[in-house]
A = this chain, B = another copy of it.
Amino acid sequence: MTPYFVPLGGSGEIGMNFNLYGFQGKWLIVDVGITFSDDTTPPGIDVICPDLSALKSVRDEIVGIVITHAHEDHVGALHYLWRQLKAPVYCTAFTASVARRKLGEAGLLDQVPLHEVLPGCELELGPFQMEWVTLTHSIPEPNALCLTMGDARVFHTGDWKLDPHPLEGDHYDDRRLMELGEAGIDFVIGDSTNATQEGWSGSEAECHKALLEVVAKQTQRVAVTCFSSNTARLASLGDIAHETGRRVTVLGRSLYNYLQTAKSTGYLRNFPDLVPTSDLDYLPRSEQLILATGSQGEPRAAMSKLAKGEHPDLVLDADDTVVFSSKVIPGNEKKLFRLYDLLSQKKVQVVTEADAPIHVSGHPCRDELRWMYRALRPQVVVPVHGEARHMAAHAELAESMGIQGVRVTNGDVLALSIDSPTVVARVQTGRLGLSGSSLVPLSDRALSERRALADGGLCSLTLVLDKKARLVSLPQVQFVGVPTGDVESESVVVDLQALIEEVMAEQNSRILQSDDALRDAIQRELGHALRQWLGVKPRQLVQIVRI
């Protein structure tokens, strides 16, 4: 029997990773991630999960959910989607600790069978045999899976890079990778994030050196922001505090959470004790090292509040330094430039990745991909985890090494047959937005109505009619989100009321007795009048009450 690979999220996009393997009628899920909204998503939606409609008919055949590591785009949707899956979850200790916090907050901790596995272990779930292979990344315990499904051997990389000095957590085991290659790997399903970047992604140790240099030359307060889950970076900053005679204060819940998770699972053993914000006043600025959340300019995070001077516990002073030890995720440039500006207005020095090599990516650049494929010697590479251009560059790189590159996108059902790996079918995919407590398809009509409301506001009109369809009182007109000008609007309301009475007088009794027909007639005229007056047409809400 042929095994199948089906990406439902993450192939053709960065984020929302959700992968399926099918074999002998059973299904294995690898990663259950979220992605975040951008300027294409409807307003009011922050978090987006994959649509799992394709799994409806095979729900009882899911043997397990494997989470490769603890980043949001791999584990973040577990508590939103688990009720649709109801399968046991497998991951290593650090990931489990993060998952438990999320499941706990969602009240699911008692229901989800969450199994911790050891790095490097072997696990059998139904017809799927897998070895967990430790790699390096920007978070502890990034695991690849070496899957055996009958004759087929698939190396699912998860997120990885080759970091010779990862500072925290295990090193990658190059010997084991070569052994696996010798034993024979048929398919690599692999991370494409940096496949357009030549060279190597660089090591946390180099990053440490550059960060130390930046901090060492400051004579006043230094505040650093980085991705909260980047435990190696936190370790680095803890060491730098020691090395530069500074003490560490943390601002922001997500940093606290990850620090705690890391410590509780055996990481960050040398991380210094924190100075509470209440004691900061007793510490000279030259001895302060602040770690703050919000490296992407998130408006409610600590760094944004510091820049705006709105943080309740700390005010930055002139000649302080703020270090962004992170990359700028595309789409966040403008938000971040605004922060740099606010800080520069306060005469706070801003140091970013553009000024010094104080960030390294967690994903493999082209030389790392080449190294890996030389070690694993796969027959076929299937790029995933990337946008189209990343996956295309990845496939071309594989082909330039004489390896077959197979192009898939979310929803493709790829038959993992060595002779002819082929997309044999397509299944439904999509995006569900978290609206309050429910997951709503992003194509939902209500969400596109929100855009119309946002662009033009709403004009509500209420008519109360008697049995003979005569107006019982003046039509009520109300505007929401329509800039009318106070004086002007009163006269406009009077005009609109007159218009409605006129329109009603022109209708025959068949139309007057039908809510739909009357509403249509009124909306036509009302829309016209509103556009004349405002230059735009707000959404109309015509309500007819018959008494």
Contacts and interface: CB of A to CB of B under 8 A. Distances in A.
Interface stretch (A132-140, A172-180, A371-379, A481-489): A481-489
Chain A facing B: main interface SS: mixed
Given A330-B337, A547-B472, A535 B436 contact: yes
A430 B456 CA distance: 22
Given A389-B341, A454-B44, A536-B435, A440 B334 contact: no
Nearest to A333: B330
Interface in A334-373: 334-335, 337-338, 340-342, 344-345, 350
A456 B344 CA distance: 35
Contacts of A39: 39, 334-335
Nearest to A457: B450
Interface stretch (A79-87, A207-215, A441-449): A441-449
Interface in A285-342: 330-331, 333-335, 337-338, 340-342
Interface string A458-482: 1010101000000011001011111
A340 B393 CA distance: 13
B534 A438 contact: yes
Interface stretch (A88-96, A98-106, A148-156, A537-545): A537-545
B482 A446 contact: yes
A43 B44 contact: no
A501 to B, nearest CB: 16
B453 A388 contact: no
Contact of A481 (B453, B462, B531): B453
User: What size tier do the contact residues of chain A reach?
Assistant: 35 or more
A546 interface: yes
A387 interface: yes
B333 A331 contact: yes
A337 B387 contact: yes
A543 B542 CA distance: 12
A242 interface: no
A235 interface: no
Most B CB within 10 A of own CB, among A39, A337, A450: A450
Contacts of A426: none
B546 A473 contact: yes
B446 A388 contact: no
Contact of A545 (B438, B462, B535): B462
A437 interface: yes
A528 interface: no
A547 B473 contact: yes
Nearest to A437: B535
A392 interface: yes
Contacts of A484: 446
A480 B541 contact: yes
Contact of A483 (B331, B334, B438, B482): B438
A502 interface: no
Contacts of A342: 388
B436 A481 contact: no
Interface-central residue, A342, A460, A473, by most chain B CB under 10 Å? A460
A60 interface: no
A462 B543 CA distance: 8
B334 A389 contact: no
Contact of A454 (B344, B451, B535): B451
Contacts of A331: 333-334
A297 B345 CA distance: 31
A482 B438 CA distance: 11
A396 B151 CA distance: 68
B481 A340 contact: no
Interface of A: 38-40, 43-44, 330-331, 333-335, 337-338, 340-342, 344-345, 350, 387-389, 392, 435-438, 440, 444, 446-447, 449-458, 460, 462, 464, 472-473, 476, 478-485, 531, 534-536, 539, 541, 543, 545-547
Nearest first, the 8 A-B pairs at minimum CB distance are A436-B535, A437-B535, A43-B454, A436-B536, A454-B454, A331-B334, A44-B455, A450-B481
Given A341-B387, A446-B482, 9 more contacts: A43-B43, A43-B455, A345-B392, A438-B485, A446-B479, A446-B480, A446-B484, A460-B460, A478-B541
